[in-house]
Structures are given as structure tokens and as C-alpha cells.
Structure 1
Amino acid sequence: MAHCRSNFFFLIYLSILLIASAAVHPVLIDRYRKSYYDILQVPKGASDDQIKRSYRKLALKYHPDKNQGNEDANKKFAEINNAYEVLSNSEKRSIYDRYGEEGLKQHAAGGGGGGGMDIQDIFKSFFGGGGDREEEERVAKGDDVIIDLDATLEDLYMGGSLKVWREKNILKPAPGKRQCNCRNEVYHRQIGPGMFQQMTEQVCEQCPNVKYEREGNFITVDIEKGMQDGQEVVFYEEGEPIIDGEPGDLRFRIRTATHERFRREGNNLHTTATITLAQALVGFEKSVTHLDEHLVDIGTKGITKPKEVRKLKGEGMPLHYSNKKGDLYVTFEVLFPTSLTDDQKTKIKAILG
């Protein structure tokens, strides 16, 4: 019994010590949270360039404009920006590495670290927008690859996807070392009493060697309804790679493929319907099968003239990122008979005068 009681008091004592230690060293508590490095999907020793590249990719993936109405994506986007605000600042990163989030809070409460970065400023530093802040140092980037993609009118009307085979160069490890991260460093050399000469020296680091290899894979290109000719579907960092830099982008440029029944002009569609001379004179019932297979009534009880164009409002192409649609224009071709009998001629004269 005494042994059980002593174990019980020992556990209480140990719990008090742990709580007290956590109060003195908040970083112990932070270990149970998802770290900023995990959020940005980089190792703890990641370079500034690695952090920038990973932030750019994740921010584009979870940006609210691409995930409208998705609360989970919005929360993830906020987490990513919060993590990047800390890890992109050398002072804040050092404090975070030593003391965790609680250390950052205490540092901010003590007046250190300034007012923090605005999310829009972070995003602008990557994707343009200027502002009064200093421009980020540009990282070397490989060439963009632009591919014209013929999209069917059906896909552009309803939305769809295409699988495209893509071959590209990729970087693979190779034996040996190479010079990398070369930079010019300035130092001063004394050349006499009170006399110094400014010198510039190129300093390089040693990195694992790499080589280019050709690989291919299928890429699924999503085509959004209402996309226009010239619009692009971008796969970031899927273009040409470059040593000691980030790959370029792969851009699929939309081009509307020729359709057998419809012709597109902006957000409007054009088609042709052929009717007989009798139908042109007395009216007719007729429909056109649309791109999504729904039927559009183009019939009339009146007279239809050759080359007459009839507008059907709201039956054109959908506008990109909108519920509105353009119009459908139907041009009527009247099919005349190749010959008439004498009896037919007499009857037509009697009717038409």
C-alpha cells in the first residue's frame, strides 16, 4: 500500500515538473504543434530559396481565388502565409528555432520584430504588384515551355480535361562535386601605412554534381468552361529546369478546335440551318442539337428569307467565371428546287400572282 502511495505522489511530482518546465520553456509545448517547416513542407535546415519555392507552390495551390467557398483551403492559405512570414525573416526564424511560437509572441510583445508582413505584400513579392517595399532578389529561372492546346467546343462549353504526354529534362544526381552558389565578395587589403585597396573575389561553394535526363509522363490539363483563345493553363515549375535555380513554367495556351456545326466568335456561337423553299414560305418546326445535346427550337410560323440571321439570346458560350452566356446566331439557307413542272409553275403563279 505504501509502495502504491509513493508511486502516486511521484507521478504528481513529475507532472508538476513537466508543467513548470513547459512554462519556463514554451518550446516544449510547441513541439506538439505542427511546425512552420512542416506547413511549408521543407526540412528545418532549408535554404531561403527552398522556402521561397515551396511557399510559392503552396500559396498558388491554396489561394482563395482558386478555392472559392472552401474554408479548409482558406485556413491552409493563412497558415502558409503565417509560416512564411516567420521563416523568410532571419531574425524571426532564429527566435522560432530556439524558442518556438511562444518566443515569437514574447519578442513581439517586447517591441521587437516590427509589425509583421501583410499577406498581400508577401504574395506581391512573388507574383508582381510592386509597392513601396524593396524588390525581392530574383532567383535564376529556367525557360518557360508554351504549348498550343486545341480544345473542343464541347470542352470549352461544358468544361473538361485532356491528357497530354510531356517529355522534359530533369535533374538527377551524378558522381562528383561542382562549384555552386558563386558570388562576389568584397574585402580590403592593406597596401601601405593607412592605405587600403578594395578587392573583389569570387567565392563558390561545393555542391553535389547533377546531370540532365529525359523523362516523360502524362499531364492532365483541366479546361474550364468559357475559356477564350489565348488563355493559359499554367503548371508552375514544370518547364525547363536550370542548375542552381528554379524550373520555368509549363503553359498550355488554349486554341479553339474547328467544329463541324458551330463557329465561335468571342462568347457567341454561329451555326447554319437549311430549310426548303416551302418551309421558308409557310413556316416550319425545327430544332438544333447544342454542344451539350440539349435541343434549341429555331422554328417559326412566318416567312424566312435566304441568308436571314436569327438571334437566340443566352444560347451561346458561357462566360469564363460567370453564370452568363453569349448568344447563338442561326443563318438560314433556303434550298430551292432544281426544276419545276408546268403544272407546278401554273399553281405557283396562281398562288403568288
Structure 2
Amino acid sequence: MKRDYYEILGISKSASADEIKKAYRKVAMQYHPDRNPGDKAAEDKFKEAAEAYEVLSDSNKKAQYDRFGHAGVGNNRGGFGGGGMNMDDIFSQFGDVFGEDIFGSFFGGARSGGGGRHRGTKGSNLRVKIKLNYEEIANGATKTIKVKKYINCNTCNGTGAKDKGSVQTCSTCGGSGQVRKVTSTFLGQMQTVTTCSACNGEGTTITNKCTTCKGEGRVYGEETVNLEIPAGVQEGMQLSMSGKGNAGERGGAPGDLIILIEEEAHTELQREGLNVVYDLHISFTDVVFGTQVEVPTIDGKAKIKIPPGTQSGKIFRLKGKGFPAINSYERGDQMIHVNVWTPQNVSSEEKEMLEKLHHSPNFKPQPAKGDKSFFERVKEMFS
């Protein structure tokens, strides 16, 4: 079972963006693989912290996590959310979190994939809308969609180069992706490290570009994506599918695919949180004599008994016939509101019978036993 992201970083839900970053730095430094060589447990905690930071540092993902837990941001790489990040993904965060010279200062030199040399430019995120009916929301659904987006160029395999010989080590930075500059001050020598402007930190330059993608390493195309929608999603909820957005330039990491959930209106039912509401209209005679009726539910039809003397406005409850909660075993109910239908047109014979009933004491409104009159309730309010 996945641990709580706030627990992993040792912070509260009210932590600010700076506090989240500071907490991540502390945990990442503690469990960094270079400081714990061969320690699989430390590596797992290092990845776990990176996953937590990826979600909590993004305001949209954090909001979804706070509302829906792990289901709101997903559980695995290639599925929803950021779980199962690889080392290249993690080290690509370090330039923003630790600064450009983190590896030179703490780990003895630039490391491929983080802080210095990196591959290409990360692709942008994409957003799609998925409309689900009540049954799909209640039970979960598998959707297959076609997404038009930038995909890796098959001709050059995303490198942007015509051939391997066209990729040359950058002469400015020597392939490190960084330029180090030492200046003398009255405090002594100061070293600064910046991203190489000649190769944009990639460490390589292309002398002969791919003719298919014009050196970008990607082309505009289409990809078929399978979506596994968890049960219990709600209108307006956003799910994030890592790595399924636009492909990055020249081998850069792909963006994410953001799925916005829309609920398809039901012809007879209405949703109120986890509960489902149905308005049942029955005749006057049905509530007098009692009856058995069939009502629609998310899962099909259900029969309920209407006892004799049922009043208009009575609510019957079908336990567990509502929607499941996305992050627990809780499930809502179905509420059935009884509405007594009043005929608008009656024959002279029917009118005569109703006139007789009108004068019968049994057909006069009677307060339920123990109910207080209107005046008694008003008197209590002002006493």
C-alpha cells in the first residue's frame, strides 16, 4: 500500500511551496544513491520522495491528491499520476530544486540526466475530456481514445539527427552540458556553473538534421491511448496520465495527458455526492391502498413496497445503491422521493365520488402522533 505523500516528506497538508521543496531536498539528500551505493532500500525511498514531490509541488496535482488521495493522481508510470518514476525523470527535477551546481558541489561532478547535461526539451501536457454515464462512474471503465499530438520521429528515433555521425560532442562544454567559470574576488575564487548555451545543456550538437522532423526529433501524429478510469470519479475531476502528452524535442521527456471527467446526465436519476436521487410519482389510490413499484437504479431495476397511507414527500432509502467513494470502501445510497400525482381532469362521476370523500374525516389531513401544531412551534421559538 502506498504511503501518504505528506508523511514521506515529513510535512503537513498546510505546508507552503517553499516548505515542500525544502523537505524534499532534505529527504533526497539523505537517500541519494551516490551517498548510499548499493542500498536498494535507500534508492526506493529516494524514488518515493521524488514521486511525492512531483505531485505536491504541482498545485493542480496537489489539489487532486488532497481531495481524492492516490486515486486522484494515479498509482503507476504510464497510468494515472507519477508513480514508478525512473532515475532520468527524478534527476531532471534536480536543476529546479537544488540548482545547477548540485552535483558538482555535493556528488563530485555533473550527472547525466540531472542538474547539468540533459536530453532535449520536455514535451507539453495535453488535456482531453472524457464523458461517462452513471454505470461507468459506478463500476469504473476502460476507454480507448485516439490523441492527436507530437510523437517521436521514427526516422531518427527522436534524436533529430540524420545519422549517428551527425551527433557531435559540443565543443563549448566538452559534452558536459555545463560551462564552469572561475572568478577571483576579495573573498577568494568563486566558481559558477551554468547551462551551456551552445547545446542548451544537451552536451551534443547536430551537424546534419533529420529530413523528416527537421531536427526536432518529433512529428505531429496520432496515438491510441487506453484509459483505465477508476470507479467513483466525479464531474470536474482531473486524472493525470504520465508520459502520454506531447513528445519532447530531441529525445526530451514527454508531457502528461490530463483527463477531465464529465458526467453524462441520466434520464431518470440525479446525483447528490455519493447518493442517487429518484423522484417517484404515484397515484392517490396507490398511496391509500399501498402498492409495489419498480424503480430505476444505477445497476438496473429494483422493486420497492409502498405501504398503505404513505405520505407525499416520504423518502425511501436503498442502502448501497449509490456511487462508490474513490478512495475508500464507502458507498452511497439511493433516495426515492415519493410524489403523489394529482389528476388534472376528472369526470363528473369521479368528481361526485371525490366530493363524498372530501367530507369524510378519514380524508382530512391529520398531524402524525407527537407532531406539534404550527402555533405551538412558534410559541416555543419566542418563549
> TM-score, length-normalised on structure 2?
0.53
From 94, 101, 109, the counterpart of 1:136: 94
Equivalenced residue count is 244
For residues 118-157 of structure 1, the aligned pairs below 5 Å read: 119-128=44-53, 136-138=94-96, 141-157=122-138
**1:188–1:197 contact (8 Å) kept in structure 2:** yes
Greater Rg by CA: 1
Instruction: Give yes or no for contact 1:221–1:233 (8 Å, CA) kept in 2.
Output: no
- Distance in 2 of aligned mates of 1:181 and 1:168: 31
- Pair 298,326 (structure 1): closer, same or farther in 2 beyond 3 Å: farther
Secondary structure of the residue aligned to 2:217 is: strand
> What does residue 183 of structure 1 align with?
178
1:238 aligns with 2:244: yes
For each residue in 1:255-303, what CA deviation from the matched residue of structure 2 results, as whole angstroms up to 9, or x when unmatched?
2111111111210111222212221333221021322225142533223
* Match of residue 268 from structure 1: 275
2:288 aligned with 1:293? no
Pairwise CA distance, 1:349? 2.6
Secondary structure of 2:268's aligned partner: coil
Q: C-alpha separation between the residues in 1 aligned to 2:191 and 2:94? A: 27
Q: What is the CA-CA distance between 1:116 and the residue it aligns to?
A: 6.9
1:167 to 148, 159, 176: 148
User: Greater helix share, 1 or 2?
Assistant: 1
2:311 maps to 304
Structure 1: segments with no counterpart, 5+ residues:
1-63, 67-84, 94-103, 105-112, 190-194
In the TM superposition, residue 247 of structure 1 has moved relative to its aligned partner by 1.4
Distance in structure 2 (CA, Å) of the matches to 1:334 and 1:148: 40
Unaligned runs of 5+ in 2: 4-28, 58-90, 97-113, 115-120, 207-214, 360-383
Q: Secondary structure at the match of 2:338?
A: strand
| Matching residue of 1:258 | 265
Preserved CA contact (<8 Å) 1:158 1:292? no
Which residue number corresponds to residue 15 of structure 1? none
CA drift of 1:314 comes to 2.7
Q: For each residue in 1:202-223, what CA deviation from the matched residue of structure 2 results, as whole angstroms up to 9, or x when unmatched? A: 4643255443212213222122
Query: How much does 1:137 deviate?
Result: 3.2
Task: Find the counterpart in structure 1 of residue 230 from structure 2.
Answer: 224
1:109 corresponds to:
none
Query: Which whole-Å CA distance do the structure 2 matches of 1:197 and 1:65 have between them?
Result: 44
Cα 1:326–1:200, aligned 2, differ >3 Å: closer, same or farther? closer
Cα distance 1:89–1:344, how it changes in 2: closer, same or farther (>3 A)? closer
Q: Aligned in 2, Cα 1:344/1:246: closer, same or farther, shift over 3 Å?
A: same
Which structure has more relative contact order (CA 8 Å, sep 6+)? It is 2
Asked if 1:337 corresponds to 2:332, the answer is no
Q: 2: distance between equivalents of 1:227 and 1:214? A: 31
Equivalent pairs: percent with the same residue?
Answer: 17
Alignment of 1:283 with 2:290, yes or no, is: yes
> Aligned equivalents of 1:320 and 1:122: distance in 2?
25
* SS, match of residue 286 in structure 1: strand
Report the AA paired with residue 249 of structure 1. Answer: D
Structure 1, residues 111-164: CA drift from partner, whole Å, max 9, x if none? xx9x9726334311243179xxx9833466432222221111110112222221
SS in 1 for 2:94: coil
